[in-house]
Each structure stands twice: as structure tokens, then as C-alpha cells.
Amino acid sequence: MRREQLTGVVLAGGRARRLGGIDKGLLAYRGRPLIRYALQALEPLCGEILINANRNLADYRRFGHPVVPDALPDFQGPLAGILAAMQQAETPCLLVVPCDSPRLSATLLARLPAALDDGHDIAIAHDGQRLHPVVMALRTHLADDLAAWLAAGRHKIDRWAGRHRWTAVDCSDHPDAFLNVNTPEDLHGTR
């Protein structure tokens, strides 16, 4: 898939309850804000990048990409951020990553949109043990279906994806790439 067909999305719109509500994307990990790692992984692959954030919007704008808040109120989870990005994107596909996975790389992420070329609508990373539903590529034509899913009060990514042509993308050769920074130990690299 060509760069101009792909919009990157960094999900930074959560409440970060496990870190005391601190906005994770702005926290320093090994001397850099966590969101920098996500942007660095997406930039070689995507013609446009959007940052989904619901707090500290001015701080996120400083990273040089449009900031898109959730279209729905009350922090309704990653699907709400994905929907907001789908409604904003001008490309046929999104490549989605969380702001708190600093070990993801462009090389690994490139596997996801490649899987869409095989006729799938959604491609989700699988580390050999489990799926990582917030590391995904998907087609933007699914926006209306996703909006209806959320309007019905549903929020589970895997259940929504399961209703469509989806595939698990083998990333088992890099299981450590899916570290999520959720605790102070993660943040300081002691885990």
C-alpha cells in the first residue's frame, strides 16, 4: 500500500487510570515523550498522521500533526478515537497505534496495511500469544458501521472487528514490540 493511501493514527485519548490519570502520550520514556515513538514508527509509512487526544490538545498540537478529539463524550475507549480519525481521514485506510507502545517500529507496522491488500478490511497485530487490537490497519469505509456499533453502547474492538473481513497479522518474531507503558515500572524501564 502506498503512503498516500494511509493515514496514521496515534491513540492518546484515554484516561490512563493505571498511571493515576496522567496523560501517557506526554510522559517521558527514556528521555522522549511516549508519543514521539509512535510518530516515529508511523512517519515512514503514512502520508498523513492524526493524533487522537481528549486532553492537553495544545501540547499534542506541538508535535506537528492534526489533533482529533473523540467524536463521542466521556472517554468511550479506543474505538471512539478510531471513529474520530476515520471521519477526519481522507485516505481509504488507517494505521492505528497506541501512544504507549514505544517499541513498535515502522518495519513491523508495515505488515498490517500489507494484509489489507489481501482483501481484508481489518488487520490486527498478533504477537504469537495474543491479539493487540489497538495495533491495527483498517479501511475507512467502515466508519458508518463503527458509528452504529458505538451508538448501540458497544465498545469491544475484537467483537466489532469480528463482524468484518479481518485477519491476524503474525508479529511473533517481535513479541517484545508490544510493551504497553501502564505502570511506573514500565515507564522507567524496570520491567
Flag whether 11 is marked binding: yes
Flag whether 31 is marked binding: no
Flag whether 56 is marked binding: no
Interatomic CA distance for residues 144 and 121, integer angstroms:
14
Flag whether 100 is marked binding: yes
Cα–Cα nearest to 10, from 78, 73, 77, 56: 78
Flag whether 186 is marked binding: no
49: CB partners within 8 A, 6+ apart:
7, 8, 9, 10, 39, 42, 43, 65
Flag whether 143 is marked binding: no
Flag whether 84 is marked binding: no
Binding positions for Mg(2+):
100
Binding positions:
11-13, 24, 52, 70, 100
Binding positions for GTP:
11-13, 24, 52, 70, 100
